[in-house]
Amino acid sequence: MPKIYYDNDADLNLLKGKTIAIIGYGIQGRGQSLCLRDSGCNVVVSEVEGTPNYEQAIKDGFKPMSASDAAKAADVIQILTQDHVQAKVYNESIKPNLRKGKAICFSHGFNIRFKQIKPAKNIDVFMVAPKGPGALVRRMYEEGKGVPCLIAVYQDATGQAKQLGLAFAKGIGGTRAGVIETTFEEETETDLFGEQAVLCGGVTELIKAGFDTLIAAGYQPEIAYFEVLHELKLITDLVQEVGIGGMRRKVSNTACYGDLTRGPRIITAKTRKEMQKILKEIRNGKFAKEWIKENEVGRPNFDRLLKEGDEHAIEKVGKQLRDMMPWMKK
């Protein structure tokens, strides 16, 4: 069993007298900033001037500043920009403003795991990773609850890195739910694998393959869309709420039997072998090198693949059908 920490294991007083900088006021940055402020912490935020996130920070009562100024002012620096820009932000704006005893924090370990950021030995480096989007972190906090978090320590220069991380987690409500101890390696590798093989890559390819199969057999695109994409939320919500076994007991017996007998014919030994190959590419750094290089050359492959995906027939029929669903209109 992993080590799990709760409110009684964390001391917010460790953050008293310290300034926390949140670099990047996106969904996660906003949620964490507001929760930390409401927990009595002194929070400064950094965002690019003229962006919607910059304006949102002002509306929320912050005075957004440059990453350099925020890093200079802070004792704890939480880096919440996207993975592909973190190293640039760190090297240009954060690294020059670090001094002995400061701490840098992450909510995803990509740049530490793959050595795009190489922190000096005299600073603490830890991770507090909420297992939910920033809006949910904020909503649960306001309700007196919390979103489970992961905590990991990469570098403990002060001897207090873990306790500082737990204090940070408590400040965003994580210790109300539970904070699970992990490593930067485990968090990064499992996160990337989940995205690629299951949650994003696996699911979207499965949806498109199901849609294409029905269309090729002569079924209407609208009906195919409903059966392979629209109803997916019902199933994923049930799986999240009551587990796979609970979902099987809440759908029809026909659906359950089809799941039990036909599912293994879709995810075959060959599929599982390919999953192992994908995991190997993550662990040996092949994927990271590919993604870093893709960004360095201007993302030609990324943009091409994204455009090809947008042109798939399921996107056109999906837009038309979603226009018929008033509950999906904002």
Active site amino acids: 108
Sheet of 76-79: strands edge to edge?
4-5, 179-181, 149-155, 124-130, 103-106, 76-79, 19-23, 42-46
CA atoms of 24 and 62, how far apart (whole Å): 13
Which contacts qualify for 320-325: CB closer than 8 Å, 24 or more apart? 320/222, 321/222, 321/225, 321/226, 321/230
CA atoms of 15 and 40, how far apart (whole Å): 9
CB 80 within 8 A of CB 29: yes
CA atoms of 54 and 63, how far apart (whole Å): 9
Structure tokens belonging to residue 302: 């990324």
Fill in the amino acid letter for 60. Answer: D
Instruction: Give the angle subtended at the CA of 233 by the CAs of 228 and 235, to the nearest 5°.
Output: 85
Q: Is 145 exposed, middle or buried (0-12, 13-18, 19+ CB in 10 A)?
A: exposed
Helix/strand/coil (H, E, C) string of 305-318? HHHHHHCCHHHHHH
Task: Please report the beta strands in the chain, taking only residues with DSSP state E, as ranges in sequence order.
Answer: 4-5, 19-23, 42-46, 76-79, 103-106, 124-130, 149-155, 179-181
CB atoms closer than 10 angstroms to residue 210: 17
Residue carrying structure tokens 């007083």:
13
